[in-house]
Structure 1
Amino acid sequence: MEPALIGLIIILALALAFDFINGFHDTANAIATSVATRVLTPAQAIAMASILNVVGALSGTAVAKTIATDIVPQDFATLELTGAALLSAILWNLFTWWKGLPSSSSHALIFSLVGAGVAAGGWGIIVPKGVRKTLIGLVTSPTLGFIVPIVLMALLSWLVLRWMKPRTVTRSFRWLQIGSAAFMAFSHGGNDAQKAMGIMTFALSAYLGTQVEVVPLWVILSAAIAMGLGTAMGGWRIIKTMGFKVVDLKPVDGFVAEASAAAVITAATQLGIPVSTTHTISSSIMGVGTTKGFRKVKWQVAGRIVQAWVFTIPVCIALGWAFHKLILLSGG
């Protein structure tokens, strides 16, 4: 077997490993609120999220094309560059999982790719349009994730909640929250699994020496399954942070947070914008919390989450650069 093919197989395996880790790292995005409100047991929530992550991952490739072509041009694609980006993103994901911090797997991969690209050819080969699109998603998704649930909760309070008894509200929104959790799981798979599809397509371009404009079906299916399996493994450390340590949630709160976040993520996916599902649902939970009063949100925990967001970009650029240099020093 030729060395280049062996290298490609290793890269594809790393991409699927990243996708798997992304799944269990981000399980909390889909199920933390429904577990915290006791609408679903952890086992029920994880099973539902796993299935709908796979379904969501099969829903399109717009985000995958952004990763594959709009961060580093495929003309500069090499297996060393791709491997460095994946090793960097996997290391950061595992570190933040160990610390129980809901950081962004999406931005870990993208900015690791930027760092490896800079190591390979300097800042000049980085595509400004793709990085700008990513940064727009980085800012707008948590902003909208924070604002939309406040507006939605105000509308619900005015139109529905003020006429209902508290017991009726809880009973009704227990069922509605199952639907919103399902929507959240679908949207998570739709945006996040496409990152692995994109980096696998980038690797194929490096191996073939030509641009690959259409994401192959086997890449789509393998990434979808890896994401689903990772989600099935769960990620209880981050579930506890998001579901129990940020704000005390009731079923109506969980419904509003999940529905708002899922709507924002789905819109971004249709536009081909790689956003952080973690950022979005975390912000939505905080937004819901503020409707109860600022003191109801545990801002110290929220601050730790924001720190993870801020550190992801420079750390992953540095890690991507360092891994690329190490791979070259070791002889590729």
Structure 2
Amino acid sequence: MADFRILDKDLDRLSNAQSAGLHSARPVVRLGIAVLFVALVAVALSGGPLGPAAPGVLIAAAAGAGAFLALSIGANDVANSLGPAVGAGALPLGAGLAAVAVMEVAGAVLAGGQVSQTLTHGILAAEAMTSGAQAGVVMLAAMLAAAAWITLATWAGAPVSTTHAIVGGIAGAGMVAFGAGAVNWGGVARIALGWVGSPVLSAALAASVLALLRARVHRAPDRLAAARRWLPWLVAAMTALLLVYAASFLPLPGWAVAALALAGTGAALWDTHRRLAAPPDPRLSENKQLNRLFGPPLAASALLMGFGHGANDSANIAGPLAVIAQAGSVGSMGALSPWLLMLAGLGIALGAALFGRRLVRMVGSRITRLSPVRALCVSLATAVTVLTASRLGLPVSTTHIAVGGVFGVGFYREWEERRHRARLAPLPVEERRRRRLVRRGHVVRTLAAWLVTVPAVAALAALIAALIG
């Protein structure tokens, strides 16, 4: 018997050593999958939709850079969709990553074309875009610079904007290749105006939704009953918005879009009513039961936001690749290849699954503490803002908008706290600082990252374009 016990111990040691080895090898496996994806995309596109137009070296380099950029966007920007939901505990990280990845691909394929058109036409003049291989070099330099910058930001844990990076890269490389006069400064100003206005709009929407939910649910005499009455309609409204938005890009008549929206809205309303009708758990406090009721609408808002992110940020890859594909024939860029949009969406989804966990936790828990209701406000405001911008063909920063929503919720809570404290004795300065709900250090760090991204990537893209040229 002693021999068998010794054998069991030895087997346990071997099992523990194997588990430790597998755990330590996970980063290497993720990196290997990413490298394999980049290589496969470069090989596939060299003989695919880019093949007849541009030199083989340019095609392979552009395809590899596009795949790398898609992985970097997924790793950095998945925090926008999942950060609030995971930070509030409404979604597990693994299942949330898988669900949002599917929505990213759907958003890219169905609604990614309009923003891609803005990137290919709105930053550089048409004469520059018809210069053949030289325009391809500009786009290649922009993608390489943006991918390098975003990878550095992901490693540093800074939620920078991929849209800022690609726009800055195109402008910087374009100035080196064609001169400053080739840059469409009016188009760049329009994009920059969207960058300034979109986070402010997201913050205002998030604060407004929070104020509405506090008035209708949290201050109701029976909060659980109020939540069961209002939340299904909120989920139904989000479902209708997603279905109408996605169906508007399909060749469907108006009555078919309306019927699809009504059917989806009814199904969502029934399912949410069913989920929220479960009897209360007597072991949980009222607050914990109320937070659990916000799980279904919070999950729905994360999926809606993933769709919007795919629709907007897939253009950062598909747009530059489309320029190289057309080899200067700007007039034929009207029909962007769905194949390129699907490739961009798949790359973003894979990057999110492989490398997105770190920033999900950062956005979801380190800026301000998020309960399910506050996380719902952030996700819903961000999704509506991004979808509106995508419909207008405006390339906005989903990171910018998501973090703006988080700040809006935090600052609203601080304002509400100050209003409540105004009726009481004033607190010392040190105590007022301790009670701040938004960490000012994260605000300054995020704003600094946003401000530095455009000039830094523009300079890097200019250098790469000069070396290639």
Please state which band the TM-score falls in when normalised by the shorter chain: over 0.9
Q: 1:149-181: CA deviations, max 9, x gaps?
A: 111111111122211153343121122111111
| Deviations, residues 30-53 of structure 1 (Å, cap 9, x unaligned) | 111111111111101111111111
- Whether the 8 Å contact between 2:117 and 2:319 is mirrored in structure 1 is yes
Larger CA Rg, structure 1 vs 2: 2
Partner of 2:438: 297
The yes-or-no answer on 1:4 pairing with 2:52 is: no
Kept in 1: contact 2:93–2:357 (CA 8 A): no
List runs of 5+ in structure 1 lacking aligned partners: none
Larger CA deviation: 217-226 vs 40-49: 217-226
**What is the rounded CA distance, in whole Å, between the counterparts of 1:54 and 1:192 in structure 2?**
11
Distance apart, 1:125 and its partner CA: 0.5
More displaced stretch, 129-138 vs 110-119: 129-138
Matches of 1:217 and 1:145, distance apart in 2 = 30
Q: For the Cα contact (< 8 Å) 2:109–2:311, is it kept in 1?
A: yes
Q: Tell me, what secondary structure is at the counterpart of 1:291?
A: helix
Q: Distance in 2 between matches of 1:178 and 1:234?
A: 21
Where does the alignment leave 5 or more consecutive residues of structure 2 unmatched? Answer: 1-50, 130-134, 224-285, 416-435
Please list the CA deviations of residues 198-238 of structure 1 after superposition, one character each: whole Å capped at 9, or x if unmatched. 11111223366865222012212222222222222242332
For the residue of structure 1 that corresponds to 2:313, the secondary structure is helix
Partner of 2:148: 91
Matches within 5 A, 1:211-222: 211-222=332-343
| Offset of residue 128 of structure 1 | 2.5
Tell me by how many angstroms 1:16 deviates. Answer: 2.3
- Once residues 148 and 468 of structure 2 are traced to their aligned partners in structure 1, the CA distance between those partners, rounded to angstroms, is 15
Q: Which residue of 2 aligns with 1:318?
A: 459
Does the CA contact (< 8 Å) of 1:189 and 1:224 recur in 2? yes
Mapping of 1:189-268 within 5 angstroms?
189-206=310-327, 211-268=332-389
Matching residue within 163, 173, 179 for 1:122: 179
Give per-residue Cα distances to partners, 1:247-270, cap 9 Å, x unaligned. 011000110100001000000000
CA distance in 2, matches of 1:312, 1:137: 16
Q: C-alpha separation between the residues in 2 aligned to 1:33 and 1:154? A: 18
Does the Cα contact within 8 Å between 2:109 and 2:338 map onto a contact in 1?
Answer: no
Aligned to 1:22: 73
Query: CA 1:12 to 1:75, structure 2 compared with 1: closer, same or farther past 3 Å?
Result: farther
Match of 1:46 among 97, 113, 120: 97
* CA displacement at 1:72 relative to structure 2: 1.5
Distance in 2 between the 1:133 and 1:33 partners? 29
Whether contact under 8 Å (1:145, 1:283) holds in the other structure is yes
| TM-score (ref. length: structure 2) | 0.67
Match of 2:125 in 1: 73
**Equivalents in 2 of 1:272, 1:58: separation in Å?**
15
Deviation per CA, 1:90-119, whole angstroms, max 9, x where unpaired? 111011111100000111011110000001
8 Å contact kept, 1:27–1:234: no
Q: Structure 2 residue aligned with 1:176, among 297, 306, 311?
A: 297
* 3-state SS of 1:293 partner: helix
Superposed CA deviations along residues 9-33 of structure 1, whole A, max 9, x for unmatched, are 3212211221121111111111111
Where do 1:262-277 residues align within 5 Å? 262-277=383-398
| Equivalent-residue separation in structure 1 for 2:95 and 2:462 (angstroms) | 41
Provide closer, same or farther for how the CA distance between residues 213 and 74 of structure 1 changes in structure 2, counting only shifts above 3 A: farther
1:309 to 450, 453, 458: 450
Aligned residue for 1:58? 109
The one-letter amino acid paired with 1:269 is S
Aligned amino acid, residue 222 of structure 1: L
Corresponding residue to 2:83 among 9, 23, 32: 32
Counterpart of 1:139 in structure 2 is: 196
Distance 1:185 1:210 in 2: 31
- Aligned positions, number: 328
Write the letter of the residue equivalent to 1:76: A
Q: Say whether the 8 Å CA contact 2:138–2:465 is kept in structure 1.
A: yes
Identity %: 27
Range with bigger deviation, 108-117 or 168-177: 168-177
Partner amino acid, structure 2, of 1:67:
L
Equivalent AA in structure 1 for residue 66 of structure 2: A
Tell me, yes or no, if the aligned pair for 2:140 and 2:320 is still in contact at 8 Å. Answer: no
Structure 1 residues 222 and 121, CA gap change in structure 2 (3 angstroms): same
Tell me the distance in 2 between the aligned counterparts of 1:92 and 1:167: 41
